[in-house]
Structure 1
Amino acid sequence: MTEPLREPTAPETGSWRELFGRGNAGTVFVLAGGVLVYAMNSFLTAALLPGMIDDLGGRQYFAWVVTVFLVAAVLASMLVARLLGTFGAARAYLVAYSVFAFGALTTAISPNMETLLATRVLQGLGCGLLVGLGFAVIKSALPERLWTRATGVTSGMWGVGVLIGPVFGGLFAQFGMWRIAYLSFFVFAVALGLLAIRALPSGRVVHGSTSPLPVWSLAIVVLATVAFSSASIVPTGVLTAAGMGAGALLLVLFVVVERRSVNAVLPRIAYLRGNPLKWIYLTLAILSSGAMIDIYLPYFALELAGLSPLISGLFGGAIAIGWSVSQVYSAGLDAPRSQRIATVLGAVLMAVGLLAYTLTQRDGEWWIALLWLLPLIVIGAGIGLAFPHLSAAALRSTDDPEEGAKAAAGVSTVELVANAIASALVGVLVAVGGPVAASSATVMGGGITLLGLVGVATAVLAIRPRARA
Structure 2
Amino acid sequence: MRATHRPFTTLALALSLFVAALELTVVSTAMPTVVSDLGGIQSYAWVFTAYMLSSTITVPIYGKLADLYGRKPIILFGSALFLGSSIACGLSTSMNMLIAFRVLQGLGAGAMQPIALTIIGDIYTLEQRAKVQGAFSAVWGIAGLAGPLTGGLIVKYLTWHWVFFINIPIGIASMVLLVVFFHEQMERKARVQLDFAGAALLCAGVVALLFGVQGTGRTLLALPLAAVLLTAFVFAELRAAEPIIPMSLFKIPTIAISSLAGALFTAAQFGATTYVPLYVQGVLGGSATMAGAMLTPMIVAWPLASVIGGRLMLRIGFRPLIIGGLGLATLGTVLMALMLKPGASLLVPRIAMGVFGVGLGFSAMATMVAVQTSVGWELRGVVTAGSMFFRTIGGSLGVGAMGGVMVAQLMNDPSIPVSAATELLGPEHGRSLSPAVLETLGSALNHGLSINFWIMCAAMVAAFAVGLFFPKMKQASTPPNSVDIPAAH
C-alpha displacement of 1:370: 1.9
Give the residue type in structure 2 aligned to 1:284.
G
Residue equivalent to 1:299: 278
Give the residue type in structure 1 aligned to 2:303.
S
Aligned match of 1:216 in 197, 205, 209?
197
Q: Percent identity?
A: 20
Residue equivalent to 2:311: 332
Residue equivalent to 2:393: 417
Alignment of 1:142-153 (within 5 A): 142-153=124-135
Give the residue type in structure 2 aligned to 1:463.
P
Question: For residues 233-256 of structure 1, what are the alpha-carbon distances to aligned partners after superposition, in whole Å with 9 as ceiling and x for unaligned?
Answer: 65xx32464455655665555445
Question: For residues 371-411 of structure 1, what are the alpha-carbon distances to aligned partners after superposition, in whole Å with 9 as ceiling and x for unaligned?
Answer: 21222211111110111111011111123x43233112222
Gaps of at least 5 residues in structure 1 are 1-21
Moved more, 407-416 or 152-161: 152-161
Aligned match of 1:447 in 447, 451, 455?
455
Residue equivalent to 1:372: 349
Aligned match of 1:70 in 52, 62, 70?
52
In structure 2, what is the Cα distance between the partners aligned to 1:289 and 1:156? 21
C-alpha displacement of 1:429: 4.3
1:427 matched to 2:403? The reply is yes
1:352 matched to 2:331? The reply is yes
1:127 matched to 2:105? The reply is no
1:354–1:260 CA distance, 2 compared to 1 (3 A): farther
* Contact 2:141/2:302 (8 A) holds in 1: yes
1:190 matched to 2:172? The reply is yes
Give the residue type in structure 2 aligned to 1:408.
T
Residue equivalent to 1:4: none
Aligned match of 2:296 in 305, 314, 317?
317
In structure 1, what is the Cα distance between the partners aligned to 2:233 and 2:45? 26
1:429–1:270 CA distance, 2 compared to 1 (3 A): farther
In structure 2, what is the Cα distance between the partners aligned to 1:98 and 1:306? 38
> Normalised by the size of structure 1, how large is the TM-score?
0.81
* Contact 1:51/1:176 (8 A) holds in 2: no
Residue equivalent to 1:287: 265
In structure 2, what is the Cα distance between the partners aligned to 1:409 and 1:256? 20
Residue equivalent to 1:258: 237
In structure 2, what is the Cα distance between the partners aligned to 1:53 and 1:299? 11
Q: CA RMSD in A?
A: 3.4
* Contact 1:149/1:388 (8 A) holds in 2: no
Gaps of at least 5 residues in structure 2 are 411-442, 477-489
C-alpha displacement of 1:114: 6.1
In structure 1, what is the Cα distance between the partners aligned to 2:41 and 2:285? 27
Residue equivalent to 2:372: 395
Equivalent pairs counted in the alignment come to 440
* Contact 2:86/2:167 (8 A) holds in 1: yes
In structure 1, what is the Cα distance between the partners aligned to 2:378 and 2:83? 29
In structure 1, what is the Cα distance between the partners aligned to 2:250 and 2:189? 20
Give the residue type in structure 2 aligned to 1:204.
Q
1:110–1:448 CA distance, 2 compared to 1 (3 A): closer
Give the residue type in structure 2 aligned to 1:403.
L
1:61–1:359 CA distance, 2 compared to 1 (3 A): closer
Give the residue type in structure 2 aligned to 1:218.
A
1:266–1:59 CA distance, 2 compared to 1 (3 A): same
* Contact 2:328/2:358 (8 A) holds in 1: yes
* Contact 1:152/1:387 (8 A) holds in 2: no
Aligned match of 1:38 in 7, 15, 20?
20
* Contact 1:97/1:189 (8 A) holds in 2: yes
Moved more, 414-423 or 145-154: 145-154
Q: What is the SS of the residue equivalent to 1:212?
A: coil
* Contact 2:90/2:162 (8 A) holds in 1: yes
Residue equivalent to 2:119: 137
Question: For residues 198-244 of structure 1, what are the alpha-carbon distances to aligned partners after superposition, in whole Å with 9 as ceiling and x for unaligned?
Answer: 2312x43388997423233322332343234435765xx32464455
1:204 matched to 2:185? The reply is yes
In structure 2, what is the Cα distance between the partners aligned to 1:328 and 1:246? 43
* Contact 2:45/2:399 (8 A) holds in 1: no
Give the residue type in structure 1 aligned to 2:217.
V
> Normalised by the size of structure 2, how large is the TM-score?
0.78
In structure 1, what is the Cα distance between the partners aligned to 2:123 and 2:103? 29
In structure 1, what is the Cα distance between the partners aligned to 2:338 and 2:79? 43
In structure 1, what is the Cα distance between the partners aligned to 2:194 and 2:242? 7
In structure 2, what is the Cα distance between the partners aligned to 1:301 and 1:52? 16
Higher relative contact order (CA closer than 8 Å, sequence separation 6+): 2
